[in-house]
Each structure stands twice: as structure tokens, then as C-alpha cells.
């Protein structure tokens, strides 16, 4: 007799989630509000753990979870799960990234209206016994320009609502293709153009190294006078102190934040500032959203526990047990090549091609393609993985091409990743040494052999004597230790590339100094 998988729901969820587990063939217990010690004592009996934000899944809890196979987070954020520890223990971590999209988009629109008509202040004064009929002069949203930073799932919903309000929408998103922009009915622009033209700015992007402080003091100063800013995405996208100063000066007419750098936000320089509205991270807080994410997480977890299906996993590739050992080094190479292209490509990319040659062409392409896409898209979102990367690529309108060439070229096995950009086709290629060690062998048409790992610097320069010494001296003066030098050039005295591995992340100031070294055309910090 087959034993049914056992699932513990440890946070409050819609009751229908438990019902779905039962219908799908799982035993389920709903026990909420336990202390970490109580959960440690209990968790050993369960195959699945369904949570929201209250339960903190720590190393200690995972160590006691001897039978645990999957953790399901009803919602998008997984800050309360130790994902590296779960991965090391072989526990799949799932979330439901799209269950609260409509709710979050609607909250952004609600805050936009609240700013436009100063609703919180008008309400407070009216309830205080005043009648400030002439004290508030709002603005219409009709005909205004909404600047959208991030045009993914939630951003696209906000755009459709804004267009319904007869607004103009200008969108900044490095992965937004011209074709997708036309389909959405928005104008694709660069960030400076958006800042200059937008009457309202709303952010819908994850917090990554590329998006952190995207509305910095410098960028906030570039905005149109009288702009109103809304952030329902992630704390850390906006410089809160600079926002306070520009609100006080009157340059920014209003701001509404649902998220803060530090949460719970018990104090903030913005609190009490006129024309500032805040809510306590309510973006996903509607009955409909909470029902949606609860039902979705139950369906996903049950599918995995009963059938082995994987949906929205954050730490697991979609592979069979037979394929995994052979494909693992190829997937590592594919992900590194995708990440390299993603970090070095700044234009919109309508198409990405994955070409396998030799031994690689005999393998299952699906996980290799998924690994490339995961590396490529993770530059914009750290929640991307091999499971959800193909879906996200499709959502962004990214055309994915697969090409196989069974004959061997210069290498017995090769993976080439090419992207179509405004500057033309650009490609990188890599192989496996000893069938297990990933190596880059070609970078944008230049032969260069390098291991892609850890912190690196990418430098394009004019080939000239003494250049390597100057770069080495610069890094040495800044106490940055070099691991390896990897060189390549088109021809003597022509364009050359230098890939350096370094022991620590290169500060922005050092990158700027490197740009000033004679002969340097481009400097970029990389991370793998």
C-alpha cells in the first residue's frame, strides 16, 4: 500500500488549500502559530511544508525536516526561507509569483489616484471637523504620461489599466522588445527619457544589483518638476532620503510607497512629509490574491509530491534522474554563457539563439536552453531559474531559437549563444575541458579562453604594449587581488579583450579609474 505524502500548512491560508491537497492525494494538517521549537519537533513527519510569510524556515528547521521534499510559499517573496540550506538538503522551494499580480497592479493605480487628488490629507482634515474645499487642488490623470519602470507581468497590467484611463505610457525595461511594446500599446524609452517626460512614475521591477537605487538622488533630480512617484515593488529601488529632500523642495509633487528599505518601517525620514502617502506593504493584500496564491501553492506542491511535476521552483532544474549526471556540466556551461551575454548586453534583445555542436548536439536541448535563459534573465531578477525562465522569456516576447550541428568543429563539443541587438548579432561560445570543466572559448568574435567564475572584470581596449601592467598596477593600488588574466585580440594593435578574475567585487570607483586608463574603451564588472 502506497503511503500518501504528508503536508503541513503552518501559516493561515484559505481553507480550500487543504481541500486541494486532500483531493490530489495528500494527507494534510493545518497547525499555525507554532514557535520555531515546536515546528522543529513536528516537521520531521512531513514531506511538504506550505507557508506564507510568518513561518521562518531556518537551517535548524530544515535540519530537523528529515523527510521534507518541498516547501511552498503562497506568494512571491521567499526571504523567510533559507534557500541555500534547502537546496543543499535536496528540498525544492516553490513560490507563486503571479498569483497577486492584479492585486499589486491595482494598488499602484489606487496610490496614483490618491496622489493625484491628495485623498489621505483631504480625508484627515475633513474628519477633523475642517472643510478644506479650497485647500486641495488635484490633477487629472487623463492625458498624462505614466512612466513605467519594469514592463513584466505586473507592469504590463498597470500599463493596460493606465491606457484605459486615457494616459500615455512610456516604459523602460531592458528586456522589453519593440514588438512587445507595440503589443502592450506603450512607448519603449530609455531611463533618462522616461525621467524627463513622465508625470507619474511607477516601479515594477525586482531588487537586483542592476535595479538597486534606480531612482537615486541623481536620477530623481532628472525628473520632470511636479512628478509623482509610486513604488509597490521592492524597497531599495528609491533613495528615500533624496525623495524626502525633493518633496520638501517641491520638485517632486507627491510620492507613495508601499515598500521600504527596512520593513517593518517603524521610522522613516519620509514620515510626516507633506504630499507623502505610505501603506504597510499591502500590494498583495486582497481576499482574491490570498485565495489565488493559496490554491496555486497547494496545486503546485501536490503535483510535485504525487506526480513529480515542477512549477515555479526556485532551486531545481527540470531533469530526469537518468539525464542529470551527463547534462549537469553542459547546463553549468550554458548558464554561464547566458549570464555573460546578459551582463554584457544593454540593448533590448528580441531574439536569442542557442547553437549546439558535436557531442552537445546529441543531448536533450530543453534543459540546456532553460539554463541559458536562466543565466540571461537572472541579470534582471534573482528569482529566475531553469523552471520559470522559458515562461518569462515568452512573456517578454523573447524569440528563442535552437540549432543543432552534429558534426564537430574546432572542439568536440560546443555551445554558442547569440543575441540579436540593435548593434547586430553578438555571440559567445564555450566548451567542456575533460567533458566536465566549462570554459569560454570565444567572446564577440574574439578567441579567448577563460573560466567564468566568481568576480570578474571585462575590459575592451586597444592592443598596445604595457596595457596589462597598467591595469595590474591600478588593481594592486586598490588592494584588489587578481586571480587570472585571460586575453584575446582580433589582430595585433587592434581591438582586444581582457577578462580578469579577482578575489572580491570591484568597487564602482575602481571601474571608473579603469575607464580612464589610456586605450580602454569599455569596463564592466561581472559576477558568476
pLDDT in tens, 409-448: 889 999 999 998 887 889 999 999 988 999 999 999 999 9
- Whether residue 325 is predicted with pLDDT greater than 80 in this model: the reply is no
Q: In terms of domains, do 199 and 257 share one?
A: yes
**Total-model pTM:** 0.70
Q: In terms of domains, do 481 and 333 share one?
A: no
Task: Report which of residues 341 and 206 the model is more confident about.
Answer: 341
The three cell numbers locating residue 5: 505524502
The phi and psi torsions of 360 (rounded to 5 degrees) equal -65, -30
Q: What is the pLDDT of residue 104?
A: 94
Helix (H/G/I), strand (E/B), else coil: 343: helix
Q: How many domains does the chain have?
A: 4
Q: In terms of domains, do 386 and 488 share one?
A: no
Question: Is 351 domain-assigned?
Answer: yes
The phi and psi torsions of 310 (rounded to 5 degrees) equal -120, 125
- Whether residue 317 is predicted with pLDDT greater than 70 in this model: the reply is no
Question: Is 262 domain-assigned?
Answer: yes
Q: In terms of domains, do 130 and 264 share one?
A: yes
Here the CATH number for the domain that contains residue 437 is: 3.30.1330.90
Q: In terms of domains, do 44 and 132 share one?
A: no
Q: Which of 452, 438, 424, 448 is nearest to 527 (CA)?
A: 452
Question: Is 209 domain-assigned?
Answer: yes
Q: Identify the weakest region by mean pLDDT among 64-78, 308-322, 433-447, 455-469.
A: 308-322
Percent of the chain with pLDDT over 90: 72
Is 263 catalytic? The answer is yes
- Whether residue 321 is predicted with pLDDT greater than 70 in this model: the reply is no
Specify whether the CB–CB gap between 481 and 502 falls below 8 A: yes
Among 73, 107, 161, 234, which one carries the catalytic annotation? 234
Q: In terms of domains, do 268 and 325 share one?
A: no
Question: Is 312 domain-assigned?
Answer: no
Mean pLDDT of the region 270-295: 93
Question: Is 72 domain-assigned?
Answer: yes
Pairing type for strands 455-462 and 495-502 reads: antiparallel
- Whether residue 229 is predicted with pLDDT greater than 80 in this model: the reply is yes
Question: Is 1 domain-assigned?
Answer: no
- Whether residue 232 is predicted with pLDDT greater than 70 in this model: the reply is yes
Residues of the domain holding 79: 6-98+288-307
Q: In terms of domains, do 421 and 519 share one?
A: no
User: What is the band of 383 on the pLDDT scale with cuts at 50, 70, 90?
Assistant: low
Name residues whose C-beta falls within 8 Å of residue 216's C-beta, 6 or more positions apart in sequence: 239, 242
* Beta carbons within 10 angstroms of residue 85's beta carbon: 16
User: What is the band of 406 on the pLDDT scale with cuts at 50, 70, 90?
Assistant: confident
Q: In terms of domains, do 516 and 440 share one?
A: no
Specify whether the CB–CB gap between 355 and 403 falls below 8 A: yes
Q: What is the pLDDT of residue 1?
A: 53
Helix (H/G/I), strand (E/B), else coil: 228: strand
Is 426 catalytic? The answer is no
Q: Tally the C-alpha atoms within 13 A of residue 503's C-alpha that lie toward its C-beta.
A: 8
Question: What mean pLDDT is reported for the chain?
Answer: 91
Sheet holding 520-527, edge to edge: 482-489, 495-502, 455-462, 520-527
User: What is the band of 284 on the pLDDT scale with cuts at 50, 70, 90?
Assistant: confident
Query: Judging by beta carbons within 10 Å of its beta carbon (0-12, 13-18, 19+), is residue 334 exposed, middle or buried?
Result: buried
Helix (H/G/I), strand (E/B), else coil: 130: coil
Q: What is the pLDDT of residue 323?
A: 64
* Beta carbons within 10 angstroms of residue 426's beta carbon: 18
Q: Which of 43, 98, 99 is nearest to 71 (CA)?
A: 43
Among 24, 228, 281, 355, which one carries the catalytic annotation? 281
Q: In terms of domains, do 377 and 362 share one?
A: yes
Here the CATH number for the domain that contains residue 487 is: 3.30.70.260
Q: In terms of domains, do 238 and 94 share one?
A: no
The phi and psi torsions of 394 (rounded to 5 degrees) equal -65, -40
Q: Which of 470, 478, 462 is nearest to 522 (CA)?
A: 462
Q: How far apart are CA 441 and CA 463, in angstroms?
A: 19
Question: Is 449 domain-assigned?
Answer: no
Q: In terms of domains, do 325 and 296 share one?
A: no
Question: Is 387 domain-assigned?
Answer: yes
Q: In terms of domains, do 256 and 295 share one?
A: no
The three cell numbers locating residue 33: 502559530
Could you tell me the CA-to-CA distances from 508 to 142, 178, 525 in Å, in that order?
41, 31, 9
Here the CATH number for the domain that contains residue 161 is: 3.40.50.720
Amino acid at each position: 500500500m502506497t503511503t500518501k505524502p504528508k503536508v503541513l500548512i503552518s501559516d493561515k491560508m484559505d481553507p480550500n488549500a487543504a481541500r486541494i491537497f486532500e483531493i490530489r492525494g495528500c494527507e494534510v494538517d493545518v497547525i499555525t502559530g507554532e514557535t520555531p521549537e515546536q515546528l522543529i519537533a513536528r516537521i520531521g513527519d512531513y514531506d511538504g511544508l506550505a507557508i506564507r510569510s510568518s513561518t521562518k524556515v531556518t537551517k535548524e528547521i530544515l535540519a530537523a525536516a528529515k523527510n521534507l521534499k518541498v516547501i511552498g510559499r503562497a506568494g512571491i517573496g521567499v526571504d523567510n526561507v533559507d534557500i541555500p540550506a534547502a537546496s543543499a538538503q535536496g528540498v525544492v522551494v516553490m513560490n507563486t509569483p503571479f498569483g497577486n499580480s492584479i492585486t499589486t497592479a491595482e494598488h499602484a493605480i489606487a496610490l496614483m489616484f490618491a496622489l493625484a487628488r491628495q485623498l489621505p490629507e483631504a480625508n484627515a482634515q475633513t474628519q477633523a471637523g475642517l472643510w478644506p474645499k479650497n485647500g486641495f487642488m488635484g490633477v487629472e490623470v487623463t492625458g498624462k504620461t505614466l512612466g513605467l519602470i519594469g514592463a513584466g507581468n505586473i507592469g504590463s497590467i498597470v500599463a493596460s489599466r493606465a491606457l484605459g484611463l486615457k494616459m500615455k505610457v512610456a516604459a523602460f525595461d531592458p528586456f522589453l522588445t519593440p514588438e512587445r511594446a507595440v503589443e502592450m500599446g506603450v512607448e519603449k524609452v530609455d531611463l533618462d527619457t522616461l525621467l524627463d517626460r513622465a508625470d507619474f512614475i511607477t516601479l515594477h521591477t525586482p531588487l537586483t544589483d542592476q535595479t538597486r537605487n534606480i531612482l537615486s538622488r541623481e536620477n530623481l533630480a532628472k525628473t520632470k518638476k511636479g512628478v509623482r512617484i509610486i513604488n509597490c515593488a521592492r524597497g531599495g529601488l528609491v533613495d528615500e532620503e533624496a525623495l524626502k529632500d525633493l518633496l520638501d523642495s517641491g520638485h517632486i509633487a507627491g510620492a507613495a510607497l508601499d515598500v521600504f528599505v527596512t520593513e517593518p518601517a517603524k521610522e522613516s525620514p519620509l514620515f510626516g512629509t507633506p504630499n507623502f502617502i505610505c501603506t504597510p506593504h499591502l500590494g498583495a493584500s486582497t481576499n482574491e490574491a490570498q485565495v489565488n496564491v493559496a490554491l496555486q501553492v497547494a496545486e503546485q506542491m501536490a503535483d510535485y509530491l504525487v506526480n513529480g511535476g515542477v512549477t515555479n521552483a526556485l532551486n531545481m532544474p527540470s531533469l530526469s534522474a537518468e539525464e542529470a549526471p551527463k547534462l549537469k556540466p553542459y547546463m553549468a556551461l550554458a548558464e554561464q554563457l547566458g549570464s555573460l551575454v546578459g551582463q554584457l548586453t544593454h540593448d533590448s534583445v528580441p531574439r536569442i539563439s542557442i547553437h549546439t555542436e558535436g557531442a552537445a548536439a546529441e543531448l536533450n536541448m530543453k534543459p540546456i536552453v532553460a539554463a541559458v535563459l536562466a543565466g540571461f534573465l537572472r541579470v534582471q531578477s534573482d528569482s529566475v531559474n531553469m523552471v520559470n525562465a522559458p515562461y518569462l522569456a515568452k512573456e517578454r516576447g523573447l524569440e528563442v531559437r535552437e540549432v543543432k550541428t552534429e558534426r564537430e568543429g574546432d572542439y568536440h563539443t560546443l555551445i554558442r549563444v547569440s543575441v540579436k541587438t540593435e548593434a547586430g548579432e553578438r555571440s559567445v561560445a564555450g566548451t567542456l575541458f575533460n567533458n566536465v570543466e566549462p570554459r569560454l572559448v570565444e567572446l564577440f568574435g574574439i578567441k579567448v579562453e577563460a573560466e567564468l567564475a566568481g568576480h570578474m572584470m571585462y575590459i575592451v581596449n586597444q592592443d598596445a604594449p604595457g596595457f596589462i601592467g597598467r591595469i595590474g598596477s591600478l588593481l594592486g593600488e586598490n588592494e584588489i587581488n587578481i586571480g587570472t588574466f585571460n586575453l584575446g585580440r582580433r589582430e595585433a594593435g587592434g581591438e582586444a579583450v581582457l577578462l580578469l578574475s579577482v578575489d572580491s567585487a570591484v568597487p564602482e570607483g575602481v571601474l571608473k579609474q579603469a575607464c580612464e586608463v589610456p586605450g580602454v574603451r569599455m569596463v564592466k564588472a561581472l559576477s558568476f
